[in-house]
Amino acid sequence: MVFKRLNHRILILDTTLREGEQTPNVTFTIEEKLQIARKLDEIGVNMIEAGDPNVSRDVKEAIRIIAKEGLKAEILAHCRALIPDVENAASCDVDRVAIFLGTSKTHLKHKLRRDEENAIELVTKAIEHAREQGLSVRFTAEDASRTDYRFLTRICKAAEDAGADRISIPDTVGIMTPDKVRELFQNLSKELRVELDTHCHNDLGMATANTLAALEGGATAAHVTINGLGERSGIAPLSEIAVALKVIYDVDTVKLEELPALSLMVERFSGVVPAPNTPIIGENAFTHKAGIHVAGVLADPSTYEGFPPELIGRQREIVIDKYTGFHAVKSRLERLGVYLNDDQMAKIVQEIKERPTITKFRDADLIELAEKITGRNLQAEIPTKVEALIRVKCESNIYTTAIARRLKALKKINKVYEVTGNYDIEVTVIADSTAELNEMLERIREIEGVEATETQLVLKKFEV
């Protein structure tokens, strides 16, 4: 169901490689950045902000490599409104330079120690110099949401006159509301000739709502990161913006079915695991539990789903525990090839409710209950899990705890221990198949600082 219409094109700018790497405790290798850029291009992102070359040599090298990759997406380098910074960005052979300057009184007084006229002069000269280098320019009015509106329009018009063809209006500290954002962009769209970008931080949990409001107000480009990475609480996540644009506005942007794989890639590279209840990509995003909900979903998924999981290449899941009703248990058992009468089903449901501390009944648990109720040995095909103990040896110059944290972030890893002996870390893995276990081993071996691994399969486990 489409709730609103947007009457202009919408572009997606992903800044995982710049804003995303500013996430505390996150850094990407050059190869990881290249893999992310390729995947972003593959799914159809319009612009990729590859980083600020003035940060370090490796950031500059990554930008240069990505710019030479021949991607369809426009590649941007981020830099301050300083001539040397612009020249450094131009040397990376990018398509566009994103020149930024703080415009609020707070930034001008306490960070830049400049007045408004001097700020306009800095921006104008930097943009003119970039245009002389043959670069397209986006000007970013940093802290725009706290900037006096009259000065904001003055400096944006100066940037426009100097040659910028895009202007970004960021909510740098994440304090705006959707109504205020929409109004701001509506007003700026009337004042300026150039196209506007929106860059919303998530400090109050409103980055996605504010981004959509900005697009409704006239912005034509949404800044996002994979998994919502970024300074402090991050910015609007790519998955939320792309899916919301499709579901609410019927606007196609990227290949939605590729979002889970992209999320997992960045989760692996960054070590930052999205919370289970994260929209779209979280483990629980399409998981149903309460009996009334499950009964509705089994009858018609749209009763408790605003959009189907298949839209992004996922499947819905149903958790069995004390909240579960008759229909969910019946559906799960029949999927396993076990058909019982209503009285038997009711007894199984009652058995489940009498075990309130069990948070999730596995298929094997349900079969065991069914056998207890029926007094028969049921021949059910239960998907088998593969459990393994993996010992990890770290390189001598590597901080073991740093490796342990990266391991903890990987999905399917159940527990992580730092241990004594010939190996430094031991992890327990529960995989759906041997193929998945092998994939997990490859991920572990890819972690920088891992020297060797040893794997032991768990044949039998005894609960004490």
Q: What is the pLDDT of residue 3?
A: 67
Both 135 and 101 in one domain: the answer is yes
Both 223 and 87 in one domain: the answer is yes
The residue whose two tokens read 């486990």 is 461
Read off the pLDDT band of 325 (50, 70, 90).
confident
Both 313 and 245 in one domain: the answer is no
Both 71 and 131 in one domain: the answer is yes
Please give the average per-residue pLDDT across 245-266, as a whole number.
96
Both 444 and 344 in one domain: the answer is no
Both 206 and 229 in one domain: the answer is yes
Q: How far are the Cα atoms of 164, 291, 295, 325, 332 from residue 300, in angstroms, in the given order?
A: 51, 14, 9, 16, 16
**Residue 139 contacts by C-beta under 8 Å, 6 or more apart in sequence?**
98, 99, 100, 101, 123, 127, 156, 159, 164, 166, 167, 168
Residue 137: domain span: 11-270
Which of 269, 274, 294, 270 is closest to 284 using CA atoms?
274
Q: Is residue 381 part of a domain?
A: no
pTM of the model: 0.82
Q: What is the CATH number of the domain that holds 393?
A: 3.30.70.920
**Rounded distance between C-alpha atoms, residue 10 and residue 12, angstroms:** 7
47: β partners: 13, 74
- The more confident residue out of 400 and 77 is 77
Q: What is the pLDDT of residue 464?
A: 47
CA 200 to centroid of chain Cα atoms: 14
Q: Which of 317, 339, 374 is the last residue of a domain?
A: 374
Both 299 and 339 in one domain: the answer is yes
Q: Which of 270, 298, 324 is the last residue of a domain?
A: 270
Q: What is the CATH number of the domain that holds 119?
A: 3.20.20.70
Q: Which of 374, 403, 421 is the last residue of a domain?
A: 374
Please give the average per-residue pLDDT across 91-112, as a whole number.
97
Q: What is the pLDDT of residue 383?
A: 57
Both 294 and 153 in one domain: the answer is no
b or e along 410-439 (b: 16 or more beta carbons within 10 Å of the residue's beta carbon)? Answer: bebbeebeeeeeebbbbbebbbeeeebbee
Q: Is residue 3 part of a domain?
A: no
Instruction: Give the three-state DSSP class for 100.
Output: strand
Cβ of 112: how many Cβ atoms within 10 Å?
18
**Tens of pLDDT along 149-189?**
999 999 999 999 999 999 999 999 999 999 999 999 999 99
Please give the average per-residue pLDDT across 44-66, as a whole number.
98
Q: Is residue 379 part of a domain?
A: no
Both 322 and 244 in one domain: the answer is no
Q: How far are the Cα atoms of 17, 203, 275 from residue 148, in angstroms, in the given order?
A: 30, 21, 37
Both 164 and 19 in one domain: the answer is yes
The residue whose two tokens read 């049921």 is 378
Q: Is residue 433 part of a domain?
A: yes
Which of 303, 266, 207, 258 is closest to 23 using CA atoms?
266
Which of 49, 4, 6 is closest to 168 using CA atoms?
49
Q: What is the pLDDT of residue 359?
A: 82
The 8 Å CB, 24+ separation contacts for 445-448 are 447/403, 447/406, 447/407, 448/29, 448/398
Q: Is residue 320 part of a domain?
A: yes
Give yes or no for residue 381 having a pLDDT over 60: no
Task: Point out the residues that are catalytic.
Answer: 293
Q: Is residue 280 part of a domain?
A: no
Q: Is residue 244 part of a domain?
A: yes
Q: In what order do the strands lie in the sheet with 413-418?
A: 413-418, 425-431, 386-394, 450-457
Q: What is the pLDDT of residue 290?
A: 86
Both 120 and 218 in one domain: the answer is yes
**Tens of pLDDT along 341-369?**
999 999 999 989 988 888 888 888 888 89
Please give the average per-residue pLDDT across 273-300, as a whole number.
89
Q: Is residue 5 part of a domain?
A: no
Q: What is the pLDDT of residue 240?
A: 99
Give yes or no for residue 459 having a pLDDT over 80: no
**Rounded distance between C-alpha atoms, residue 253 and residue 250, angstroms:** 10
Q: Please report, to the nearest 10 degrees, the dihedral formed by the alpha carbons of residues 412, 414, 420, 421 taken in order.
A: -50
Q: What is the pLDDT of residue 180?
A: 98
Share of the chain above pLDDT 70, in %: 97
Total domain count, the chain: 3
Instruction: Give the three-state DSSP class for 170.
Output: strand
Q: What is the pLDDT of residue 430?
A: 87
Give yes or no for residue 301 having a pLDDT over 70: yes
Q: How far are the Cα atoms of 52, 243, 344, 353, 382 from residue 348, in angstroms, in the given order?
A: 60, 39, 6, 9, 18
Both 24 and 143 in one domain: the answer is yes
Q: What is the pLDDT of residue 40?
A: 98
**Rounded distance between C-alpha atoms, residue 295 and residue 374, angstroms:** 24
